[in-house]
Structure formats: structure tokens, C-alpha cells
Amino acid sequence: MGEPQFAAYRYHAVFTNSPLPTLEAEKTHRAHAIIEQVIADLKNGPLAHLPSGHFWANSAWLVCAAMAFNLTRAAGTLASTFHAKATTGTIRVQLITVPARLAKSARRLTLHLPTAWPWEHAWQRMLARATGPPLPI
């Protein structure tokens, strides 16, 4: 005989010392988890170079890191639903560090992307959305 089959439920136990009602406590927990993911993403990227020992250098690096993080996340969101949820490292590898060639002919610039590049569609979508007219709300 096989093992007993149990129904799978989408419920789980929650233990907290928060005075908030259950749904509010879960919402707070999920927001905290998102912040932790952002911090981990930054620590694996530009914040790995901190601290330098100079306050102003750290301050400038942190501002640049935040701007780069936000622009990278925006590019991922424009590219595809996969890249909207991907880490910034994945977005950098797949969409930003593109081994492309820029050619100029008859006063026109042409970007030659790699052949059989798996992320070409996402990159083209990101480019079209970033440089095209704004989408209607």
C-alpha cells in the first residue's frame, strides 16, 4: 500500500508578539521581507565596497548605489515580468552588459545585437518602452 494522502491547504500557523490583527501583522511581515531582499541585493552589488573609511566617499557611493539600483530595477520592469522579479545581478548580466556592436552608416547608428541571444526580446521591449511614447494610464 502507498503512503496516506493528505490534502494540501494554503494555510499556515503564525506566531507573533505583535499587537496587530493577523492580517495586518502578515502585511507588515511581507513588507519587511521585501526590504530585506532589497538590502541583500544591494549588499551583493555596490554596497559590497563599503565602508571606505571616509564619510563623504561612503555618502557619495551610497547615493550612486541607490540611483543605480533604482534604474536597474526600472529597466528590469520595462523588459519583462521575469526581469521585474529578478535580482539586479541577473538584470545586469542579461540586459545591461550586452556584447553588442554599434555601427554608423549614412549618418545612422545601428546596434548589432548578438545572434541567438536569449534575452533579445526582453531587451528590445525594454528599449521600446524606454524610448517610445508613454503608455496610456
Query: 25-35: per-residue pLDDT in tens?
Result: 888 877 777 77
Closest by CA position to 50, among listed 36, 66, 73: 66
3-state secondary structure of 14: coil
Render pLDDT for 33-84 as a digit per residue (tens, 0 to 9).
777 888 888 888 888 878 888 899 889 999 999 999 999 999 999 999 999 9
pLDDT digits (tens, 9 = 90+) for 110-121: 989 898 999 999
pLDDT of amino acid 7: 63
Distance CA 22, CA 5 (A): 30
Sketch the domain layout of the chain as residue ranges. 10-43, 49-131
pLDDT band with cut points at 50, 70 and 90 for residue 8: low
CB 92, CB 126: distance < 8 Å: no
In sequence order, the 6+-apart residues with CB closer than 8 A to the CB of 119 are 79, 94, 95
Angle at 34 between CA 33 and CA 39, to 5 degrees: 95
* Per-range mean pLDDT, top range of 7-16, 73-82, 125-134: 73-82
Kindly report the pTM of this predicted structure: 0.69
